[in-house]
């Protein structure tokens, strides 16, 4: 049973989420402070955290930044603010989704299901087994026998590309692979993740370009350039 940690200081909203998520087959825990959420994640790691941005002690953004120092747990932000900058910041600091209040509890439950499904371990693709080795249980990828220090988002992006060599993935499709709803309109955040991935791959093989850019289309993995 997936365990969901809800970080929300409004009891009515928290109660609604608890009801919807438990009805969907999840166990839940509710705290009202960002500091309490950090402590809970260290003591009893959740499978996903629903995190309000406007918390009484530290903001949801700061909570997520501190969380990313020791955990790659999926994070869904809740916020009354629907400005573009808030969404961009939320996704860039490592969130998997961003939901604006008021929201439908059933939609939140569906988004939680989608994220957890995408986070489930997948079979290692044979096509990538030559230069890349995938360990989906440990969320580790090695390139030319050297382990890569990847964030969870970078791992998912590279895994998605490796599973279908030569296929061109749009930014929307890659966002979907991360468990981020493609309709949020921030596909350009993919570019920064790809840039970071390429830098880490070049530390292993400076002349190789396994991730290819297709202008106006997206990205692909090319074994011929690996």
Q: Are residues 7 and 100 in the same domain?
A: yes
Q: Are residues 112 and 131 in the same domain?
A: no
Over residues 23-81, the pLDDT tens digits come to 999 999 999 999 999 999 999 899 999 999 999 999 999 999 999 989 889 999 998 87
Give the length of the chain: 226
State whether residue 169 is helix, strand or coil.
Answer: strand
What pLDDT is recorded for position 10? 94
The pLDDT of residue 123 is above 80: no
Q: Are residues 115 and 131 in the same domain?
A: no
Write out the residue range of the structural domain in which residue 175 sits: 126-225
Contacts with 39 (C-beta within 8 Å, 6 or more apart), sequence order? none
What pLDDT is recorded for position 86? 73
- CATH number reported for the structural domain that contains residue 38 in this entry: 3.40.50.2300
Full-model pTM: 0.59
Q: Which residue in this structure is represented by tokens 């230069």?
A: 131
Over residues 193-222, the pLDDT tens digits come to 899 999 999 999 988 999 999 888 889 998
- What angle separates helix 84-92 from helix 189-202, to the nearest 10 degrees? 20
Report in angstroms the alpha-carbon separations of 143 from 124, 156, 164, 197. 14, 15, 17, 12
In the DSSP assignment, the letter for residue 116 is H
Give the residue-averaged pLDDT of 94-107: 88
Give the separation between CA 3 and CA 41, rounded to whole angstroms. Answer: 11
Q: Are residues 105 and 162 in the same domain?
A: no
State whether residue 202 is helix, strand or coil.
Answer: helix
Give the separation between CA 52 and CA 108, rounded to whole angstroms. Answer: 13
Parallel/antiparallel/unpaired status of strands 75-79 and 140-143: unpaired
Q: Are residues 137 and 221 in the same domain?
A: yes
- Nearest Cα neighbor of 149 from 157, 140, 158 is 140
Parallel/antiparallel/unpaired status of strands 3-7 and 27-31: parallel
Give the separation between CA 54 and CA 43, rounded to whole angstroms. Answer: 24
Q: Which residue in this structure is represented by tokens 């994070």?
A: 75
Beta partners for residue 52, in sequence order:
78
Give the residue-averaged pLDDT of 86-94: 78
Q: Are residues 137 and 190 in the same domain?
A: yes
Q: How sure is the predictor about 122, in pLDDT bands with cuts at 50, 70 and 90? A: low
Please indicate whether residue 38 or residue 89 has the higher confidence score (pLDDT). Answer: 38
The dihedral of CA 161, 119, 200, 217: what is its sign? positive
- What angle separates helix 189-202 from helix 171-178, to the nearest 10 degrees? 80
Instruction: Please identify, among 119, 142, 167, the residue that sits at the C-terminal boundary of a domain.
Output: 119
The pLDDT of residue 11 is above 90: yes
Instruction: Please identify, among 119, 142, 159, the residue that sits at the C-terminal boundary of a domain.
Output: 119
Give the separation between CA 64 and CA 49, rounded to whole angstroms. Answer: 10
What pLDDT is recorded for position 183? 57
Over residues 143-191, the pLDDT tens digits come to 998 999 998 889 989 999 998 888 898 888 888 887 766 555 566 788 8
The burial of 214, by beta-carbon neighbours within 10 Å (0-12 exposed, 13-18 middle, 19 or more buried), is given as exposed
Please indicate whether residue 185 or residue 97 has the higher confidence score (pLDDT). Answer: 97
What's the structural domain count of the chain? 2
- CATH number reported for the structural domain that contains residue 200 in this entry: 1.10.10.10
Q: Are residues 106 and 44 in the same domain?
A: yes
């Amino acid at each position: 049973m997936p365990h969901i940690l809800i970080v929300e200081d409004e009891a009515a909203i928290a109660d609604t989420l608890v009801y919807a998520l438990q009805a969907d087959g999840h166990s839940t825990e509710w705290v009202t402070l960002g500091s309490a959420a950090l402590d809970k994640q260290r003591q009893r790691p959740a499978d996903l955290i629903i995190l309000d941005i406007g918390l009484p002690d530290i903001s949801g953004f700061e909570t997520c930044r501190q969380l990313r120092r020791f955990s790659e747990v999926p994070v869904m932000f809740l916020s009354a603010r629907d400005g573009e900058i808030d969404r961009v910041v939320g996704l860039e600091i490592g969130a998997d989704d961003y939901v604006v209040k008021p929201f439908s509890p059933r939609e939140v439950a569906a988004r939680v299901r989608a994220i957890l499904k995408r986070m489930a371990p997948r079979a290692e693709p044979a096509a990538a087994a030559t230069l890349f080795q995938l360990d989906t249980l440990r969320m580790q990828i090695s390139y030319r026998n050297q382990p890569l220090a990847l964030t969870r988002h970078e791992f998912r992006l590279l895994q998605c590309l490796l599973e279908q060599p030569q296929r061109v993935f749009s930014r929307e499709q890659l966002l979907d692979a991360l468990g981020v709803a493609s309709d949020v309109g921030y596909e350009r955040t993919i570019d920064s993740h790809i840039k970071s991935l390429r830098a880490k791959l070049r530390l292993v093989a400076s002349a190789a370009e396994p991730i290819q850019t297709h202008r106006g289309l997206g990205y692909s993995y090319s074994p011929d350039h690996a």
